Amino acid sequence: MGAHIWWRLLAALPAFAGTWAHAACIDPAQFAHSTISISRYFDEEERGARFEVIGITGTGWFLSETTIVTAAHVADAMKLSERDWEMLEISGDKGGQRVAARLLRVAGDQVERLAVIELQQAVAAAQPVAIRKEPLVPEERVVTFVYEEGVPHPVSGRFVRFGDERLAGTALLEMFEGDNRLAIDHGASGAPVLDCEGRVAAVISNVFTQTLVFASRQIRISTAWGTPNVVSVPALPLQEMPQGH
């Protein structure tokens, strides 16, 4: 999926309604301060030849008051380094702020990994989330958050299975809202996947979609009902790092 680049997206065809649905197994209001939208804008020199890309946005969550976690490809697209502080815009349900940030570490040994970003100053409204120590089990219910007009919005679903071959090391999910199987889409990279005890079990990384051409228009559609449509990275590698950094 990659971090969402601020280009105009094509309209998606509504997905066919499924035969079952999941109710959220946690109270989303309890985690309103845990998930944030993170953005970085580039200056003219950083844009280079890709002059149309003015910035990158993704999603993250608080590991502590001074650290946030996102998908590694989000931090890479933002050009964050371990040495230099760069300005990020972080926004949650209580508004936004600018804060200097740099890459603290990258966790995991698979193709997609997790990035831990250090903030130069603590965020007072931060709500750190505990990391789940056990792997997810098939059919287990999960919840994640996406941002709609600057407000975190919960989307629920289930864990299907762990990936294999080129997706080895990933956790495959089926997430949707009503008949919308694209509720998790561009910009959700880095969002936490919470179990029914409110612990982070994985982090959103990618989505399964295909593009059809209809009447000279390109239309994105999701996978079939009953199959995974979201790729996530297990949060277990973060166990090696104390949350109170």
Phi and psi, residue 67, nearest 5°: -135, 140
Alpha carbon 52 to chain centroid, angstroms: 23
Any residues with CB less than 8 A from the CB of 242 and at least 6 apart, and which? none
What distance in Å separates the CA atoms of residue 245 and residue 242, rounded to the nearest whole number?
6
Residue 50 has what pLDDT? 58
**Residue 71, strand partner residues:** 114
Any residues with CB less than 8 A from the CB of 180 and at least 6 apart, and which? 14, 15
H/E element, 232: strand 230-234
Topology adopted by domain 35-128:
Thrombin, subunit H (2.40.10)
The 10s digit of each residue's pLDDT in 78-92 is 999 999 999 999 987
Checking DSSP bridges between strand 192-194 and strand 210-214, what pairing results, if any?
unpaired
Residue 49 has what pLDDT? 57
Which of 127, 121, 152 is CA-nearest to residue 62? 127
Phi and psi, residue 75, nearest 5°: -60, -35
Taking the domains of the chain in order of start, what are their residue ranges? 35-128, 130-235
Mean pLDDT, 10 residues at a time, the chain of 245 residues: 38 33 69 88 71 83 95 94 94 82 92 94 90 95 85 91 92 94 90 95 93 80 94 90 51
pTM for this structure?
0.84
H/E element, 72: helix 72-77
Any residues with CB less than 8 A from the CB of 168 and at least 6 apart, and which? 110
CATH number of 130-235: 2.40.10.10
Check if 35-128 and 130-235 are the same fold. Answer: yes
Residue 213 has what pLDDT? 79
